[in-house]
Structure 1
Amino acid sequence: MLCSRAIKNLNPKLEFVEHSPQKCPRMLLLPDYDPNDCEAGMRLLEDLTTNADQIQKQVLKEILHRNSHTEYLRGFLNDDDEYDDEEVFKNKVPVVNYEDTIPYIQRIANGEPSQIISAQPITEFLTSSGTSGGQPKMMPSTAEDLDRKTFFYNMLLPVMNKYVDGLDQGKGMYLLFIKPEICTPSGLMARPVLTSYYKSKNFRNRPFNRFNVYTSPDETILCPDSKQSMYSQLLCGLVQRDEVLRVGAVFSSAFLRAIKFLEDHWKELCTNIRSGHVSDWITDPSCRKAVSIILNEPNQELADLIEQECGGGKSWEGIIKRIWPRTKYIEVIVTGSMAQYIPTLEFYSGGLPLVSTMYASSECYFGINIKPLCKPCDVSYTLLPNMAYFEFLPVKKNNGGGELSQDQVHSNGGSGGDDKEEIMETVDLVNVKLGHYYELVVTTFTGLYRYRVGDILMVTGFHKNAPQFRFVHRRNVVLSIDTDKTNEEDLLKALTQAKLVIEPLGFLLTEYTSYADTSSIPGHYVLFWELKMKGSNGLLPELDTFIMEQCCSTMEESLDSVYRRCRKKDNSIGPLEIRVVTHGTFDALMDLCVSQGSSVNQYKTPRCIKSEEAINLLNSKVVGRFFSQKTPFWEPFRIETSK
């Protein structure tokens, strides 16, 4: 049950703000409650959102109280400053990007004390899918942060129980996977945030509750071989099909890869079910043992049923509902770049709701969807005010009416008059305005201060006093299939390397654009190229297949580590494709864009195309298609040692 003292302390506003940081009970910022008690969970959610402003102020006081003597904060705050004063903090501590934090994180990764940025020991680094210098970003994490994530996950349960009946009468078939990790010179691990959580005692020793029962044994989730893990989890999900009430994965792309995997392996899975034995190539000992316990004995009837649904040339439309008939919803992220998978999910779902429950990142867990059965296009997230201290940089549409750009407000002169420092004016959580766009800035318990996450959000409403946001897009990202995030600069660098292959042959690349093709599984990057020969009048000679495939491979080798890992290790991105179009195609594209409202004076070729009409136009002009014939080189990223 939710501790009555926690409810008492969260409800009365006066009592809440009277607590000093030294006396503030930890339960105010990280309340403990029984996730089986959904009524208590909903009361807690109401308390958190009602007292959003007070909780935010207390969160900042607590963070600054803990970390006031860190090297980072002492670099901006003087000894005579009121270290827990909100205005002093905002005036003296700058808003920063990842590049500003790299030196501090690098030093800790190389063995210097955590006190550089955090009074609490840094226990590991969480690798972000965003990149810097071609390598994943590393975010600091602490032991307490795992408790905060557990609290966050537990808050999802009462919300789902409110909207969907009977979730305690079956299991969830959630396909969860771990990713590669490395050990830094300091001995601390660096790994993706979900890998960190699945490997933690918080996940492995999670107390039994009636909503947290999975068809996948932990051993299958923790299997380092992604193919063995996928096969084993699907086999367990099929054997327990009558108990499955909900299915899902974290990302839409991962869930669709599982469907494609089932499409490729259903015959072998049926053979295992029919014989009662796991395939010999499942060699991970823990995984094999766990699956064998669930498989238990031959089941001819189940094997025949799955064979009937999957085989015989039948359409796979609605296959989820047909194989797992008790399923109430599919839980996957369908916002941001994952929205491109919605039509494919709907094809396979058989009309099941697509539920996107949470908004989180490597930096911090942010908010939950308190109306989980809404349409994917209406998904908004209510930020939980005890997760971190949130600020928002206003953004606006540029003169072209397209991309969102940073709205930098004013410069503030220093005491000397010459040393001018730009102050980015931010808006507090409770003061954002309906319909406005913002970039999210966080100060966390783990050592990030006024950190620009890079997510652009739009305010869609309020729940009590806590705002609700729709995720719009990642700043500067133009292409994404899975956890990869390729921006325009990355794309141009890769393209520049590919041009070196064709330019000695007399080819000129006159225009290009791109899009993420998710019509197949896995999806892949598509580049449209308009080429000409030097000295020609637009006539293009026959293209050499080997040379063009080399261009594809060169581009892939030039993209960042996350993309190359998804291609080589995870198999979550297909081979990059170049489609060569006829001379004049990009003039036709400009005509189309101008006819739809773009200014001819301000028009510039978009480097990523999302309009279906524009993609159809480009495809109608294609004269050659070429794919990368080899996977790019990848190895776990290295940590540079201090010089």
Structure 2
Amino acid sequence: MLPRFDPTNPKSCMSLLEDVTTNVKQIQDSVLEAILSRNAQTEYLRGFLNGQLDKQSFKNNLPIVTYEDYRSYIDRLANGEPFDLICDRPISLFLASSGTSGGVPKLIPLTAEELEQRILFASLYAPLVFKHIEGLTEGKSLMFYFVTRESETASGLMVRFMITCVLKSVNPSNSFLWDRVQIIPHAISTCADTAQGMYCQLLCGLLQRENVARLGAPYASSFLKVINFLEDHWHELCSNIRTGRVSDWITDAGCVSGIGKFLTAPNPELASLIEQECSKTSWEAILKRLWPKAKCIEAVVTGSMAQYIPLLEFYGGGLPLISSWYGSSECFIGINDDPLSKPCDVSYTIIPSMGYFEFLEVKKDHQEAGHDPAKNHAVVDLVDVKIGHDYELVVTTFSGLYRYRLGDVLRVTGFYNNAPQFYFVGRQKVVLSIDVDKTYEEDLLKAVTNATLLLEPHDLMLVDFTSRVDTSSFPAHYVLYWELGSKLKDVKHEPDRDVLEECCFAIEESLDSVYRKLRKSDKIIGPLEIKVVRRGAFDELMNFFLSRGSSVSQYKTPRSVTSEEALKILDAAVVSEFLSPKTPSWEPRELHSSR
């Protein structure tokens, strides 16, 4: 675990970062030893190790598991059985993981000690951002957070999303550290009503626009939701600023008291300035125009979030995009030690104190059905990974997960001292498949990114997308749902048929040779189809998944959809349909991503 240090002292943080990234093997061995010795008497470890707590016994006897393998233990804990099923310390709550395309969260056990470690982890990367970006100390952060309503298990254990957990760990009566760095009062950030919270966070940010040094949200997708909300509500926000009175529908006590600190008098001058910027024909660089002293946008823009980079660059007007850290509900894992690297080049340095990390090498074999790296490749330790290779991450944590497959695929790009650095490739998941073709999340994202280059000359942008396989047609074919937006306000561009058909073809041309060869036969895979949906369709999709337990702050649009209810939402929103007009070439070739 991370040793104790002063999180308010940048030199202390940087010194610790150097230490933990230098002594990687020793730290990893001591982490595993500590986890096994502390949890030796748990039912789970006793069942596999029979008291043999050495590293080799761990590797020989403990299976590599998924959530489904582990579910029975989680269910027993949720139903009131004692924590020593898996851990030597009380489980303080369950974290709801957002990493499921079905929108139904997994429950991840968390101890109080582990939560404290995660909060310390955040202190490690903060000095790096301040070191690389000048001027951040001249203002505060306008970071948009949203809590999700809590639930309880049958035994009374709380279930929270990670963002909610961190926000609620701040003591409201002792929140001076929060107030020192955040523009938005803690009482507003923890509002359970998303609409009221988002509105009041924006109002706070606009009222203090000259004091905003950085903007952001946990994920690129949630930050774009805020921008869309601003597009729909800027008239009302300006009215509030002009009159010095918040709208009547803002009734949450925390929001009302929080806004009352800043909305103290009419400010028609500020209202007119904001109106002038928001009324312009284009919203290009709107963030830079509304918050002129902001130095960067901070949000995760790697993996499935990479598709939102063009939108953030459009709205940001040149503000650097900072993807600071990589983690999950199961474990906090790595930090970006080069915050100003291009979003497409971001690598994360693994912090070896946060858990015990193992790696399954991933080699895509599209011809082999049911390919599973856990059965076909050796498991390697953190210090044994090789540059240029892809691995699926396996974690063992202090909170009771053992050899747990995260499903994330990471590519080794180099080393920071002795700690490997990884590029986040995506989820180890086939999102589309009809026959022996296997289109992975990474492949689909690259293909869509290449195709959207065709939209740029027409002032169109891809707002969001997802996909499915349509087996009702013969032959079956890939279907992509696209929501498009215009770079110009109040200008409705009807999608040009020729352009969208070329987008269909460009996607097919970017997919692998197995797909393209099967497309050559008109009896196996039919032409790829793009269905354009109306504005707001993906907000409706998000609301559907939120109703099933997802979180606004952590929501990620699923790259493939199988839920019949979700598909009904999308199909009801379709405004036009386009098919690939020709068959792609199928010869094997080297693919070049637009990245």
- What TM-score bracket applies, with the shorter chain setting the length? 0.7 to 0.9
Q: Look up the equivalent residue of 1:594 and give its one-letter code.
A: W
Q: Look up the equivalent residue of 1:440 and give its one-letter code.
A: L
Asked if 1 retains the 8 angstrom alpha-carbon contact of 2:350 and 2:421, the reply is yes
Asked if 2 retains the 8 angstrom alpha-carbon contact of 1:131 and 1:560, the reply is no
Classify 1:428/1:40 alpha carbon distance in 2 versus 1 (closer, same or farther; 3 Å). same
Question: How many residues align structurally?
Answer: 509
Structure-1 residue corresponding to 2:283: 316
Q: 1:132 deviation in Å?
A: 9.0
Q: Look up the equivalent residue of 1:351 and give its one-letter code.
A: G
Structure-2 residue corresponding to 1:120: 89
Q: For residue 476 of structure 2, give the secondary structure of its aligned residue in structure 1.
A: strand
Residue 354 (str. 1) matches residue 355 (str. 2)? no
Q: For residue 48 of structure 2, give the secondary structure of its aligned residue in structure 1.
A: coil
Choose the corresponding residue for 2:340, options 373, 382, 399: 373
Q: For residue 228 of structure 1, give the secondary structure of its aligned residue in structure 2.
A: helix
Between the aligned partners of 1:53 and 1:202, the Cα distance in structure 2 is: 37
Residue 576 (str. 1) matches residue 570 (str. 2)? yes
Between the aligned partners of 2:552 and 2:25, the Cα distance in structure 1 is: 46
Structure-1 residue corresponding to 2:135: 166
Choose the corresponding residue for 2:256, options 285, 288, 291: 288
Structure-2 residue corresponding to 1:279: 247
Structure-1 residue corresponding to 2:22: 50
Paired residues for 1:145-164 under 5 Å:
145-164=114-133
Choose the corresponding residue for 1:433, options 379, 386, 407: 386
Moved more, 193-202 or 113-122: 193-202
Between the aligned partners of 1:385 and 1:569, the Cα distance in structure 2 is: 27
Q: Normalization by structure 2: what TM-score?
A: 0.78
Q: Look up the equivalent residue of 1:472 and give its one-letter code.
A: V
Classify 1:205/1:352 alpha carbon distance in 2 versus 1 (closer, same or farther; 3 Å). same
Q: For residue 247 of structure 1, give the secondary structure of its aligned residue in structure 2.
A: strand
Q: For residue 181 of structure 2, give the secondary structure of its aligned residue in structure 1.
A: coil
Asked if 1 retains the 8 angstrom alpha-carbon contact of 2:215 and 2:294, the reply is yes
Superimposed CA distance per residue, residues 553-605 of structure 1 (whole angstroms, 9 cap, x where no aligned partner):
9x979x995685569999987951458868xx5683xx215267499xxxxxx
Residue 180 (str. 1) matches residue 173 (str. 2)? no
Choose the corresponding residue for 1:512, options 468, 477, 493: 477
Between the aligned partners of 1:243 and 1:111, the Cα distance in structure 2 is: 48
Structure-2 residue corresponding to 1:337: 304
- Give the share of equivalent positions with the same residue, in percent: 49
Q: Look up the equivalent residue of 2:244 and give its one-letter code.
A: G
Classify 1:477/1:280 alpha carbon distance in 2 versus 1 (closer, same or farther; 3 Å). farther
Between the aligned partners of 1:103 and 1:304, the Cα distance in structure 2 is: 59
Structure-1 residue corresponding to 2:3: 31
Structure-1 residue corresponding to 2:294: 327
Between the aligned partners of 1:302 and 1:408, the Cα distance in structure 2 is: 59
Between the aligned partners of 1:432 and 1:463, the Cα distance in structure 2 is: 14
Larger radius of gyration: 1
5+ residue gaps, structure 2, are 433-440, 445-465, 487-503, 505-532, 558-565
Between the aligned partners of 1:404 and 1:86, the Cα distance in structure 2 is: 30
Asked if 1 retains the 8 angstrom alpha-carbon contact of 2:105 and 2:549, the reply is no
Asked if 1 retains the 8 angstrom alpha-carbon contact of 2:469 and 2:478, the reply is no
Q: Look up the equivalent residue of 1:295 and give its one-letter code.
A: L
Superimposed CA distance per residue, residues 340-363 of structure 1 (whole angstroms, 9 cap, x where no aligned partner):
001111111011100000101010
Q: For residue 362 of structure 2, give the secondary structure of its aligned residue in structure 1.
A: strand
Structure-2 residue corresponding to 1:630: none
Structure-1 residue corresponding to 2:528: none
Between the aligned partners of 1:202 and 1:77, the Cα distance in structure 2 is: 41
Bigger relative contact order, structure 1 or 2, given CA contacts below 8 A and separation 6+? 2
Superimposed CA distance per residue, residues 353-404 of structure 1 (whole angstroms, 9 cap, x where no aligned partner):
0000010101011000000001001000001010000000011121569x99
Q: For residue 412 of structure 2, give the secondary structure of its aligned residue in structure 1.
A: strand
Choose the corresponding residue for 1:594, options 586, 589, 593: 586
Between the aligned partners of 1:71 and 1:298, the Cα distance in structure 2 is: 64
Classify 1:118/1:230 alpha carbon distance in 2 versus 1 (closer, same or farther; 3 Å). same
5+ residue gaps, structure 1, are 1-28, 411-423, 480-484, 500-507, 522-527, 529-547, 600-609, 613-643
Paired residues for 1:203-602 under 5 Å:
205=174, 208=177, 213-311=181-279, 313-399=280-366, 406-408=372-374, 425-476=378-429, 478=431, 508=473, 510-515=475-480, 517=482, 519-520=484-485, 575-577=569-571, 585=579, 588=582, 591-594=583-586, 597=589
Q: Look up the equivalent residue of 1:445 and give its one-letter code.
A: F
Q: 1:455 deviation in Å?
A: 0.2
Moved more, 199-208 or 55-64: 199-208
Between the aligned partners of 1:571 and 1:465, the Cα distance in structure 2 is: 34
Classify 1:353/1:568 alpha carbon distance in 2 versus 1 (closer, same or farther; 3 Å). closer
Asked if 2 retains the 8 angstrom alpha-carbon contact of 1:170 and 1:244, the reply is yes
Superimposed CA distance per residue, residues 182-241 of structure 1 (whole angstroms, 9 cap, x where no aligned partner):
11111011121111111124798566279x611111111111111000000000000010
Q: Look up the equivalent residue of 2:153 and give its one-letter code.
A: T
Residue 92 (str. 1) matches residue 92 (str. 2)? no
Q: Look up the equivalent residue of 1:576 and give its one-letter code.
A: L
Superimposed CA distance per residue, residues 319-351 of structure 1 (whole angstroms, 9 cap, x where no aligned partner):
111110001000011101110001111111011
Q: 1:495 deviation in Å?
A: 6.1
Q: 1:264 deviation in Å?
A: 1.1
Between the aligned partners of 1:303 and 1:367, the Cα distance in structure 2 is: 42
Q: 1:469 deviation in Å?
A: 0.2
Residue 192 (str. 1) matches residue 161 (str. 2)? yes
Q: For residue 180 of structure 1, give the secondary structure of its aligned residue in structure 2.
A: coil
Superimposed CA distance per residue, residues 275-294 of structure 1 (whole angstroms, 9 cap, x where no aligned partner):
11111100101211111112
Between the aligned partners of 1:564 and 1:509, the Cα distance in structure 2 is: 33
Structure-2 residue corresponding to 1:102: 71
Superimposed CA distance per residue, residues 448-477 of structure 1 (whole angstroms, 9 cap, x where no aligned partner):
000000000100000011000000011216
Q: For residue 378 of structure 2, give the secondary structure of its aligned residue in structure 1.
A: coil
Asked if 2 retains the 8 angstrom alpha-carbon contact of 1:136 and 1:561, the reply is no
Superimposed CA distance per residue, residues 394-444 of structure 1 (whole angstroms, 9 cap, x where no aligned partner):
11121569x99543566xxxxxxxxxxxxx631111110000010000000
Asked if 2 retains the 8 angstrom alpha-carbon contact of 1:341 and 1:518, the reply is no
Q: For residue 64 of structure 1, give the secondary structure of its aligned residue in structure 2.
A: helix
Superimposed CA distance per residue, residues 142-162 of structure 1 (whole angstroms, 9 cap, x where no aligned partner):
111111111111111111121
Between the aligned partners of 1:166 and 1:77, the Cα distance in structure 2 is: 54
Choose the corresponding residue for 1:66, options 21, 34, 38: 38
Q: 1:141 deviation in Å?
A: 0.5
Asked if 2 retains the 8 angstrom alpha-carbon contact of 1:478 and 1:486, the reply is no
Classify 1:432/1:242 alpha carbon distance in 2 versus 1 (closer, same or farther; 3 Å). same
Q: 1:512 deviation in Å?
A: 2.8
Q: For residue 131 of structure 2, give the secondary structure of its aligned residue in structure 1.
A: helix
- RMSD between aligned residues: 3.8
Q: 1:130 deviation in Å?
A: 2.7
Q: For residue 235 of structure 1, give the secondary structure of its aligned residue in structure 2.
A: helix
Q: Look up the equivalent residue of 2:259 and give its one-letter code.
A: V
Q: 1:133 deviation in Å?
A: 7.9
Classify 1:376/1:133 alpha carbon distance in 2 versus 1 (closer, same or farther; 3 Å). closer
Between the aligned partners of 1:132 and 1:138, the Cα distance in structure 2 is: 15
Between the aligned partners of 2:107 and 2:148, the Cα distance in structure 1 is: 15
Asked if 2 retains the 8 angstrom alpha-carbon contact of 1:394 and 1:426, the reply is yes
Q: Look up the equivalent residue of 1:30 and give its one-letter code.
A: L
Between the aligned partners of 1:137 and 1:182, the Cα distance in structure 2 is: 13
Q: Normalization by structure 1: what TM-score?
A: 0.72
Asked if 1 retains the 8 angstrom alpha-carbon contact of 2:218 and 2:553, the reply is no
Q: Look up the equivalent residue of 1:268 and give its one-letter code.
A: E
Q: 1:318 deviation in Å?
A: 0.5
